[in-house]
């Protein structure tokens, strides 16, 4: 991408692994809402200075290790199927030392922040320390869903659900549906609230019966509410709907400031948790996919080549695409 709304497929030099790095042959990449925000020019990092054009997108990916740099055990990594962490901390600050590299003030984000080239290419170079091995039961489609799944898993963990607890998910997009699938696998009674008929039908197609609009939502006590939407009004709605002494989790981001009344938060004795990044949830997500406890593959509506990415970012759905919210890219096409 060279500017909002401007993108092209270009030839660049093949990446070379520096010390501690690996070159990945990319097999599959997910197109994310963050990528769309870059395309429209609305992404906050463009305005804060954390990102600038030109840039190469792509942070949900799966592939195979093609080469490694100095100091990397080639026998351990060459030919391995992998995915990787988006957040690359500096490795030297207090946050990185305590294992919170995903909130390092000086972090790179693959395909997003600091000019670190993303996975929408035939090859990607990343630190070996960011890689996660994929078992044979996790194919390229599932591998490229690990990163959004890690976000969803962290949101479910933050909700602190027990089997039989009732969860309401606001926003049945990719993250919301992953949250719902993971929470159901953990024994929760899952409900979803949305607006768009296609997304509501998609939730029902996954076997969820508690799928509602704001007008049809029943008056039920919810033990947790997870806001996975981009609507600025829904953070306050989540706080309104959750049971006292329970939890709200905020993982969705609106394009404008969203407000809650902290008096309501305190008077209801509610715990509110914010989630940024999949980093602490990647390994657990791979385990869920590998075991078959969660199968998110129906979320992928279509897979296209690099030449079609611009149209996808502009909102075009490929001919023959299914009803799922996620579109994937195979750079080898």
Average pLDDT rounded to a whole number, residues 82-98: 97
Cα–Cα distance for residue pair 181/190, rounded to 1 Å: 9
CATH of region 149-274, choose from 3.55.40.20, 3.40.50.720, 3.40.1160.10, 1.10.10.10: 3.40.50.720
What is the per-residue pLDDT across 187-226, written as a single tens digit (0 to 9) for each? 999 999 999 998 999 999 999 999 999 999 999 999 999 9
DSSP per residue over 219-250, as a string? ---EEEEEE-S--TTHHHHHHHHEEEEEEEEE
Tell me the longest C-alpha to C-alpha distance in the chain. 60
- By C-alpha distance, which of 143, 122, 125, 126 is closest to 134? 143
Q: Give the tokens for residue 316.
A: 């075009």
pTM attached to this predicted model: 0.97
Model confidence pLDDT, tens digit, residues 230-248: 999 999 999 999 999 999 9
Return the domain boundaries, the chain.
Answer: 21-145+296-329, 149-274
**Nearest CA-CA partner of 28 in 165, 194, 139:** 139
**Per-residue confidence band for 255, with pLDDT thresholds at 50, 70 and 90:** confident
Show the CA angle centred on residue 115, arms to residues 11 and 174, nearest 5°. 90
Domain 21-145+296-329, CATH: 3.90.180.10
**Separation between Cα atoms, residue 36 and residue 74, nearest integer Å:** 36
Among 53, 57, 30, 51, smallest CA distance to 121 is for 57
Rounded mean pLDDT, 158-163: 97
By the 8 A CB rule, do 269 and 244 touch?
Answer: yes
Per DSSP, 275 falls in state -
- Identical fold between 21-145+296-329 and 149-274: no
Q: Map residue 167 onto helix, strand or coil.
A: strand
């Amino acid at each position: 991408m060279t500017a909002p709304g401007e993108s092209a497929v270009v030839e660049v030099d093949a990446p070379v692994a520096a010390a501690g790095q690996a070159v990945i042959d990319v097999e599959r990449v997910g197109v994310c809402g963050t990528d769309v925000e870059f395309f429209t020019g609305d992404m906050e990092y463009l305005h804060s200075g954390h990102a600038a054009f030109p840039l190469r997108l792509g942070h949900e990916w799966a592939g195979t290790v093609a080469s490694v740099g100095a100091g990397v055990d080639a026998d351990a990594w060459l030919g391995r199927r992998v995915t990787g962490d988006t957040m690359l901390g500096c490795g030297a600050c207090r946050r990185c030392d305590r294992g919170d590299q995903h909130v390092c003030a000086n972090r790179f984000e693959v395909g997003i922040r600091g000019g670190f080239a993303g996975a929408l290419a035939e090859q990607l170079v990343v630190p070996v320390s960011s890689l996660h091995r994929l078992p044979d039961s996790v194919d390229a489609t599932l591998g490229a869903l690990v990163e959004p799944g890690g976000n969803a898993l962290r949101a479910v963990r933050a909700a602190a659900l027990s089997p039989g607890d009732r969860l309401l998910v606001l926003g049945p997009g990719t993250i919301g549906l992953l949250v719902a699938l993971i929470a159901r696998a953990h024994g929760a009674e899952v409900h979803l609230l949305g607006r768009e008929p296609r997304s509501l039908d998609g939730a029902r197609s996954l076997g969820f019966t508690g799928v509602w609009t704001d007008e049809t939502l029943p008056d039920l006590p919810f033990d947790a509410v997870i806001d996975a939407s981009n609507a600025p009004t829904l953070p306050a709605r989540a706080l309104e709907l959750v049971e006292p002494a329970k939890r709200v989790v905020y993982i969705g981001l609106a394009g404008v400031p969203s407000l809650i009344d902290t008096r309501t938060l305190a008077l209801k004795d509610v715990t509110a948790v914010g989630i940024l990044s999949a980093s602490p949830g990647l390994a657990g997500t791979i385990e869920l996919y590998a075991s078959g406890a969660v199968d998110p593959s129906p979320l992928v509506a279509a897979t296209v080549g690099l030449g079609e990415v611009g149209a996808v970012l502009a909102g075009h759905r490929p001919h023959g695409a299914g009803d799922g919210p996620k579109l994937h890219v195979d750079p080898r096409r």
